[in-house]
Amino acid sequence: MSINNLISYYQSFETDIENLSRYIEICEDNFQTYSVELTRLYLSICSEVDVALKYLCNLLGACDVNNINDYSRAIKKWCPELIDKKVSLKGCSVYFSPWAELHNADNTTWWREHNDVKHGRIQHYKNASLKNVLTAFCALYTINVFIVFKQSCKQDPMAKFDFASMLYQTKGYFRLAQMKDIPFAYSIGEHSLFI
């Protein structure tokens, strides 16, 4: 599998969320909304999170990873800066911190609730909420950004890569999300890519 495959999947979820926003306003008032479509997205996005995390861990040299707890330990060891990343979505004033719970745990609420939906959808159908879908999507975004960054560093270990500059170069890959703490990486002159 190549990084292009990961980005193609991510972009397909961007399209899904943009289409979803025609029917459900992406705002806090609707965070508890759930539906068949949100369930499909939640399960699909979290499945891709699993694939992307395994890819990132292998890229970092952590090859013996099999589940979210293994991934979490690898993240804490190899790229702890990912834990603090806050993500905003185009047109949404809310910031998501999909990995913040890893400061005090080996797992996140959105992932545990995904497992509840996956293994007991009838009882846990409401956990496939808009909030969990968006949080999982933001988690996938952060993982893909780190994969692009770490892959660039690995391909040319002598070069000095600046994370913000790399984000600017990948703006065509990631249209819907941006990291809060590095907004200048998304700007062209005075014009921001996000409104």
Sign, CA torsion 86/89/90/93: negative
Helix (H) / strand (E) element for 68: namely helix 68-78
Cα 144 from Cα 61, distance rounded (Å): 17
What pLDDT, on a 0 to 100 scale, did the predictor assign at position 192? 37
- Cα of 103 vs its chain's centroid, Å: 17
What pLDDT, on a 0 to 100 scale, did the predictor assign at position 191? 36
Nearest CA-CA partner of 75 in 87, 59, 86 = 59
Residue-wise pLDDT for 127-145, tens only, equals: 999 999 999 999 999 999 9
Which residue has better confidence, 10 or 185?
Answer: 10
Residue-wise pLDDT for 150-192, tens only, equals: 887 666 665 566 666 666 666 678 889 988 766 444 443 333 3
Residue-wise pLDDT for 51-107, tens only, equals: 999 999 999 887 789 899 999 999 999 889 999 999 999 888 899 999 999 999 989
Token look-up 């703490």 returns: 181
Residues 127 and 115 sit within 8 Å (Cβ to Cβ): no
pLDDT of 108 higher than 70:
yes
What pLDDT, on a 0 to 100 scale, did the predictor assign at position 190? 37
Nearest CA-CA partner of 30 in 42, 40, 38, 19 = 38
> pTM for the full model?
0.88
What pLDDT, on a 0 to 100 scale, did the predictor assign at position 186? 46
Nearest CA-CA partner of 125 in 48, 30, 38 = 38
35-39, 40-44, 50-54, 176-180, range with the lowest pLDDT: 176-180
pLDDT of 1 higher than 80:
no
Nearest CA-CA partner of 35 in 108, 119, 128, 117 = 128
What pLDDT, on a 0 to 100 scale, did the predictor assign at position 121? 95
What pLDDT, on a 0 to 100 scale, did the predictor assign at position 189? 36
Residue at 151: amino acid letter: Q
